[in-house]
Chain A
Amino acid sequence: MPWSFDDNLPIYLQIIQILKCDLARGKYLPGEKLPAVRELAMEAGVNPNTMQKALAELERDGLVKSQRTAGRFVTEDKEKIMEVAKTLAYGEIARMIDNISSLGYSTEEILSLVEKYLTQSANKQ
């Protein structure tokens, strides 16, 4: 099953986002070897050149590094990966806050709603 992409954004940017999530979730661990470009491209259902472009971008960010013949590896810098997770989390929060405030809630109200939701779901478990 190919990855699903949003129609209105460049594909390589979306691949970067998906791979960052994979790193944050620990699908690929620090220092682990990544699958070959072609393999990842097949999995995603995208052109290998597009996958290559996304990986080059991650490399520029220092999240992966390529070793000439051995392939590409996830950085061993755990903090860097935690930083990625945090950025992704902030992104999600920003999106959520935007959506809720568009319904007319104030900052305080949103905060109390979120707290309430979290206690309720904690009680359920």
Chain B
Amino acid sequence: MNENIEMISGGAVVSDTVAEIKNIHKGYHQHPVLNGVSFSIPRGQIVGLLGPNGCGKSTLIKLMAGLLQPDQGEIRINGFTPGRQTKALISYLPERTYLNDWMKVQDLLHFFADFYQDFDLERARQMLQNLQIDDKQKLKTMSKGTKEKVQLILVMSRRAQLYLLDEPIGGVDPAARDYILSTILKNFDESSSILISTHLIHDVETIFDQVLFLDQGKIVINGQVDEIRELYGKSIDGLFREVFKC
């Protein structure tokens, strides 16, 4: 509907849709994972990608990040198919770490600053300080939760158009979770969007605009959080428990 409307912002022509996913199919060998997934992410919105383990959340995110190729269907990020151009637009937090664990935090900061033009070193330093993470510490000597915090800080310190966060808060304690969520809220602006996959719905549902329920490779619910709450008379967490009841 709105996807063809283009806005002029700061002299550049920007479409109001950041990501457009059309009828994506993807399988690993004989095993189908995604069976015709379509949705779009409007600019300036935080979208939750929710679903039980093994439903295809990470696969979908990897396709959007350009790490996997779809068997069928089309993905557009700011109008481009995933590739070199989109990697500069997307800041991706993978489910597993890919960073070298012999590196110190300060090495990682420079690594990211070299790699990404949009990396905001000052922002990263501030967040590390707020979470009391010593930048001389090596990744290897950190707890799982601290490692996750460092990764998230690196990813959120880029001024990207689209943040793809695959399970960003799984391993961190509730107090740090609050800080991380407020960091996410603080750092994203109207011109960017965030896709967050998680199963800790209760903790994050107040920050979503829109949620997608992914079940057995298909989107089963796609809507605005408050509309869903109004329609079903329950929270997203409550609805999730009902839809995916074992």
Contact = CB atoms under 8 A, between A and B. Distances in A.
A10 B230 contact: yes
Interface stretch (A39-47, A91-99, A114-122): A39-47
Contacts of B182: 2, 42, 45
Contacts, number: 55
B44 to A, nearest CB: 7
B208 A42 contact: no
A5 B226 contact: no
A8 B207 contact: no
Given A7-B235, A8-B235, A45 B206 contact: yes
Interface string B195-230: 000000000001111000000000000000111011
A50 interface: yes
Interface string B166-194: 00000000000010011001100000000
Q: Counting chain A CB atoms within 10 Å of each CB, which of B44, B207, B234 scores highest?
A: B207
Contacts of A8: 229, 233-235, 238
Contact of A42 (B44, B185, B226, B238): B185
B237 interface: yes
B16 to A, nearest CB: 13
Nearest to B45: A49
A17 B35 CA distance: 42
A73 interface: no
Q: How would you classify the secondary structure of chain B's contact residues: helix, strand, loop or mixed?
A: helix
Contacts of A48: 185
A7 B182 CA distance: 20
A41 B185 CA distance: 8
Contacts of A13: 226
Nearest to A6: B235
Contacts of B225: 11, 50
Contacts of A2: 178, 182, 206
B46 interface: yes
Interface string B132-162: 0000000000000000000000000000000
Given A9-B229, A10-B226, A11-B226, A47 B209 contact: yes
B194 to A, nearest CB: 10
A54 to B, nearest CB: 10
B226 A50 contact: yes
27 contacts: A1-B178, A2-B178, A2-B182, A7-B234, A7-B238, A8-B229, A8-B234, A8-B235, A8-B238, A10-B227, A10-B230, A11-B206, A11-B225, A11-B229, A12-B226, A38-B185, A42-B186, A45-B185, A45-B207, A46-B206, A47-B206, A47-B207, A47-B208, A47-B209, A50-B206, A50-B226, A53-B226
Given A10-B229, A47-B206, 12 more contacts: A5-B206, A8-B238, A10-B226, A11-B229, A12-B226, A38-B186, A45-B185, A47-B46, A47-B185, A47-B207, A47-B209, A49-B209
Interface of A: 1-2, 5, 7-13, 38, 41-42, 44-50, 53
